[in-house]
Structure 1
Amino acid sequence: MDSQLSGGFLKHTLFPPSNFIPSSITLSNGINVSHNAIGVVEITPPKADKAIVVSSGIHGDETAPIELVDDLVSSILDEAFRPTTRLLFIIAHPDAIHAHTRFIEENLNRLFAVKNPVRNKECELANELQAQVQTFFAKGCEEPWHFDLHSAIRASKHYMFGVVPASSKATDVRPLVGFLKASHMDAVMLSRTPSSTFSWYSAEKFGAMAATFEMGRVARLYENDMGEFVPLREALVALMCSEALPAPSSEKGFSSYKVTRTITKTDDAFNLAFSDDAANFTYFAEGEELAEENGTVFSAIAGGEAVVFPNSKVAIGQRAALLVQPFEPDLSEPLYVNVEREPGPIAYSANHSRSLS
């Protein structure tokens, strides 16, 4: 193919020309491919009913998502499948990928709340990615989706799971839960507080069906067992082609969790009461100590809590852990995930002008 992408999306992202110029081509099947920026490719079919962002590389050492995105773009360019949805593929942070580190100066996945002052590369990237997503969703009125693909830095009692951000939009996320099941993910976690993650940005600003996907463990580029993610790839292709989603796994169950609390580090004196390498979803019985900071002790509440993403080394003001409890949503009713509300059938929009049930 006569294109900058002929050597592959990932290769171009990691080793771009010094004089990159946005370009586009139309494939023989009528699909338009636009190379909007380094690490950003847009796919446009003649007609579409959804607009889907699939992002990876927000953290540079989380490489399985990067390989998956590269594979999907290559398959579209090779006309192995023909999308019927508009798509925006992102490989976000080539500098961090080269360095095999989460970030260079600042956690990129905490910079999507506002336009950032450009104090480092991550701030510059966050601003550019926000602009790319805003432009992409503004081009049409299709149903917006966003899958932000990550890998966990620690062991997890659920190897693959989705985190659905809380927003002030009244969005019934049952289709998203259905997609997670079709992808053979192990669990879903429904948030309660606003965040500044990439998936939250799309949920809050555009009412997107959005989630952060945790795909296994971090590994070196091309050292992932991509066979582990075949069900996720198959579900993504089905969604992109407006086909029926695959059936949920018949071999493993699916767990649902709601966030009970977020523990925020406010001082360098913050300490977790357990090992920093504790697995995600490690359970603590009621009353067991979880963390301490300047005499303030955090203990598990009634019913016990499991801990997700514990990290005592985060910057002051950032999340040091999420605490969750299992629950069973009634999927015969709408499932809304609104800020500071129990996940369930009642939701509100940002303007508080209506209540949905």
Structure 2
Amino acid sequence: MTFVDEVKKGRFLSATCDLSLPFTVDEWILESGIQCKLLQRGVLQITPIEQMSTAKDIVLSSGVHGNETAPIELIQQLAEGILLGQIEPVHRLLLIIAHPEAINNKTRFIDENMNRLFKVRNQERNIDCKIANQLQEAVNSFYGSSTVIQPEKWHLDLHCAIRRSEHYTFAVSPYSHKLSRSNSLFSFIQYAKIEAVLLANAPSSTFSWFSAEYHGAQALTIELGKVADFGENDLTLLSFFSHALMKLITESTLPISWNNDVEVYRVNRTLLKQSKSFFFSFPNDLPNFTFFKEGTYLGRDNEQEFFADEKGEAVVFPNANVALGQRAALMVKKAHIIFDEQVRLCG
């Protein structure tokens, strides 16, 4: 059984993670006329037989962190449905299971956090850098080879949080210099019943930021529950998201609306780890979006102490164990948005 044979049978995930199977670039046509093309290990391009003037080029990525399994299972289900002729997308897709080595190792990464490696091309000092470079090339090629004029570009990078959260599902909208916060993107957030969205206030080096900044893609990092092993995810908790994702890829457009059902947050400040003595005053398993009243002591980094800001703040992605110079936490506040030519914060 070859790598391609496995994928053709719908076993995209198992083929990707079986490193004993040599990878080969290949392409084939399904009975429906849909073109399938294997670009890299874990990277599958899907092209419908006909594309409308409203066509999108959509990147759906998972496995950037190898132990975040629920999104990987969702991408496998989607790939299987397409490969076996049960799902017929009307938009070009790039399906990604990003880091098979980390998946097999049941860890977030091998040597470096890969979701910090998308700012520029990396020196290939380890497997994480090598894969990040390959993914950049795959996305560049995908967006650069569109078969329609000026398609709407999307990138949903699917993750799980390493801790519990006050919001079981939430999205992070990366900050970019491109118009990457469309009304249709935020309508999708609401349609998928994602509980909260956080608007970043500065550039980063994440995968979704890469697509937003360099390609003007409507991009999100989406957190879908908490990390669990394969087979232990309750995917029924993600049924609204799965349904919305199916609608996104099989229908030309989705309705545009915003009913304020989604909690909106803005980044107030970013705490960076500057010394090995950095610590937080709260437990390691504190849920994301936990709120602290103004003046609450949060932690210390050498001589610098951290306190909750005026009118209080909530904490997202706290991690005192990150490498020096990296983000140790985001401190956020609730906000409101309005639909204009692009979604923007009120006030």
Question: Shorter-normalised TM-score: what interval?
Answer: over 0.9
The one-letter code matched in structure 2 to 1:132 is: A
- Map of 1:324-339 to 2, 5 A cutoff? 324-331=332-339, 334-336=342-344
Question: How big is the alpha-carbon RMSD for the aligned residues of Structure 1 and Structure 2?
Answer: 2.0
Aligned match for 2:158, one of 132, 146, 149:
149
Contact kept? 1:157, 1:279, Cα under 8 Å: yes
**1:16, distance to aligned residue in structure 2 (A):** 4.4
> SS of the residue aligned with 1:301?
coil
The one-letter code matched in structure 2 to 1:20 is: F
Q: 1:199 to 1:344 in 2, by over 3 A?
A: farther
> SS of the residue aligned with 1:212?
strand
Contact kept? 2:10, 2:81, Cα under 8 Å: no
Residue of structure 1 in register with 2:207 after alignment: 198
Q: Distance in 2 between matches of 1:80 and 1:18?
A: 26
Q: Distance in 2 between matches of 1:67 and 1:181?
A: 22
Aligned match for 1:239, one of 241, 248, 253:
248
Q: Is residue 299 from structure 1 mapped to residue 307 from structure 2 by the alignment?
A: yes
Q: Is residue 56 from structure 1 mapped to residue 62 from structure 2 by the alignment?
A: yes
Residue of structure 2 in register with 1:133 after alignment: 139
Q: Distance in 1 between matches of 2:330 and 2:183?
A: 22
Residue of structure 1 in register with 2:43 after alignment: 40
- Map of 1:271-290 to 2, 5 A cutoff? 271-290=279-298
Q: Distance in 2 between matches of 1:235 and 1:266?
A: 41
The one-letter code matched in structure 2 to 1:3 is: D
Q: Distance in 2 between matches of 1:143 and 1:314?
A: 35
Deviations along 1:26-49, one digit per CA (max 9) or x if unpaired, are: 111111011111101000013331
Q: Is residue 76 from structure 1 mapped to residue 79 from structure 2 by the alignment?
A: no
Q: Distance in 1 between matches of 2:229 and 2:60?
A: 21
The one-letter code matched in structure 2 to 1:143 is: E
> SS of the residue aligned with 1:330?
strand
Residue of structure 2 in register with 1:15 after alignment: 18
Residue of structure 2 in register with 1:209 after alignment: 218
Q: Distance in 2 between matches of 1:253 and 1:330?
A: 13
Residue of structure 2 in register with 1:100 after alignment: 106
> SS of the residue aligned with 1:202?
helix
Residue of structure 2 in register with 1:257 after alignment: 265
**1:98, distance to aligned residue in structure 2 (A):** 1.1
> SS of the residue aligned with 2:338?
coil
**1:222, distance to aligned residue in structure 2 (A):** 1.8
Deviations along 1:229-286, one digit per CA (max 9) or x if unpaired, are: 1211111111112255489999x94201011111111111111121121100000111
Q: Distance in 2 between matches of 1:45 and 1:34?
A: 12
Residue of structure 1 in register with 2:236 after alignment: 227
Q: 1:180 to 1:211 in 2, by over 3 A?
A: same
Q: 1:224 to 1:179 in 2, by over 3 A?
A: same
Q: TM-score, normalised by structure 2?
A: 0.92
What percent identity do the matched residue pairs reach?
Answer: 44
Q: Which moved more, 1:294-303 or 1:161-170?
A: 294-303
Contact kept? 1:184, 1:248, Cα under 8 Å: no
The one-letter code matched in structure 2 to 1:242 is: E
Q: Is residue 311 from structure 1 mapped to residue 315 from structure 2 by the alignment?
A: no
Q: Is residue 171 from structure 1 mapped to residue 174 from structure 2 by the alignment?
A: no
Contact kept? 1:310, 1:321, Cα under 8 Å: yes
Deviations along 1:200-245, one digit per CA (max 9) or x if unpaired, are: 0000000100000000011111211111112111111111122554
Deviations along 1:112-158, one digit per CA (max 9) or x if unpaired, are: 00110011100000000000000000012311100000001101000
> SS of the residue aligned with 1:3?
helix
Q: 1:279 to 1:226 in 2, by over 3 A?
A: same
Q: Is residue 26 from structure 1 mapped to residue 29 from structure 2 by the alignment?
A: yes
Residue of structure 2 in register with 1:349 after alignment: none
**1:291, distance to aligned residue in structure 2 (A):** 2.3
Q: Distance in 1 between matches of 2:60 and 2:153?
A: 11
> SS of the residue aligned with 2:248?
helix
Which 5+ residue runs of structure 1 have no aligned equivalent?
337-342, 346-357
Q: Distance in 2 between matches of 1:344 and 1:85?
A: 33
**1:174, distance to aligned residue in structure 2 (A):** 2.4
**1:330, distance to aligned residue in structure 2 (A):** 2.0
Q: TM-score, normalised by structure 1?
A: 0.90
The one-letter code matched in structure 1 to 2:73 is: E
